[in-house]
Amino acid sequence: MGWALTTADPLADAVVDEIHQLGRQVRVDLAAGIENGLSSLTEPTPAVTAFLRQTESLPDYVDDELLDEGPLPQYTTPTPVHVISLSAGALVRVYKSPSIARVLATTGRLIDGARRRIEETGSWGRVATLPGALRRGAPGYVATLQVRMLHAHMRRLARSRDYDEAALGAPINQVDLARTWMDFTITSFQAEEVMGFDLNEGEQRSLYRYWWYVGHLLGIDARLVEGISSNSEARRVDDMLETVTGPLIPESSILARATLEAIADVLKEVLSIPEGMGLQAMFALARRFHGDTVADELGLPAAGLADPVLSAAIRVVRARRASLRRDPAAWHREQQKNIAEAIEANKAVGERTGYQQEADTTRA
């Protein structure tokens, strides 16, 4: 854990250093290499070569079945549910990390950028988990490496703005990366279960195995996440990561509340929550996801009036999901509908995401 707190992503960070030292051509080569492979480059720099060699080296557990079928359990659940588990579940907990909250504070857009962060993170999550998306050069593979490089650029920016590594560890360090991996897996899976969208043991195993490879592409050390195949196993590791994560800072609370406010209206679509109760229901769900202690630390208010409405809606969701599971043909149709919905949701994002824009940049 000591190593993980003080280590970021040496391969990606070395590429950013080369970009600043050598200029535009490094960006051009990196973008081409991510999309077309290291072998497509004529004279790549040492850092670009090392980065692409690591990303193109397939771990021995990766095969066609994993790439095509591993993420399918993700699509037993509709896209709007993932948006809520991402925001009130994953991102709220991501922001508990003082290191990540401080890095985000360097952008100066803690509140007004909340909705866009949700949209961009959701877009990446969808494109990275579509069947076949992580094949070399495929959209999910490209997007995941772009996210990794965005992290590296943000580290350099944070260090240029008096980020305190002695107090917080390296910016976006390996603990932060592993905790974020946990938030896209166990935190999100359990949040969706709270809303009535459970995963059985086989579905958990499939998704965790798929996320090992996502972690590989994101530069997360394999020792921190690979081998985890269930929520119970993830919880043991996550508890260890939590013990070495520093206390909340004020920016954590600001980010958490802004996130819930930005996404409250989605609840009406997901759980048929009455008009005007969206934010209260988000506060109530956040408490169910994270517990009263964490919610109190983040300054999220109690929302008792929303609890009975939520409970009734969730009972309906669970009954419908159980009915679908009993009919394999209906279950398959539900998955295909949700995959199509995810593809359309990505089209609706509109302007290019922050990680795409960073990849587009050609200035040194």
Q: What is d(CA 16, CA 36) in angstroms, rounded to the nearest whole number? A: 20
Tokens for 119, please give them.
């949209």
Model confidence at 364: pLDDT above 60:
no
What is residue 138's predicted lDDT score, i.e. its pLDDT? 96
Mean pLDDT of the residues in the chain: 90
Q: What is d(CA 182, CA 235) in angstroms, rounded to the nearest whole number? A: 9
Domain parsing of the chain, residue ranges? 59-355
What is residue 360's predicted lDDT score, i.e. its pLDDT? 65
Confidence category of residue 305, pLDDT binned at 50, 70, 90: confident
Model confidence at 356: pLDDT above 80:
no
Model confidence at 117: pLDDT above 90:
no
Burial per residue of 99-115, b for 16 or more beta-carbon CB atoms within 10 angstroms, e otherwise: bbbbbbbbeeebeebbe
Those residues with Cβ within 8 angstroms of residue 141's Cβ, 6 or more apart along the chain or in another chain: 34, 133, 134, 135, 217
| Predicted TM-score (pTM) of this structure | 0.92
DSSP classification of residue 300: P
CA trace torsion 292, 236, 317, 289 (10° rounding): 20
Confidence category of residue 270, pLDDT binned at 50, 70, 90: low
Least confident of 180-194, 243-257, 271-285: 271-285
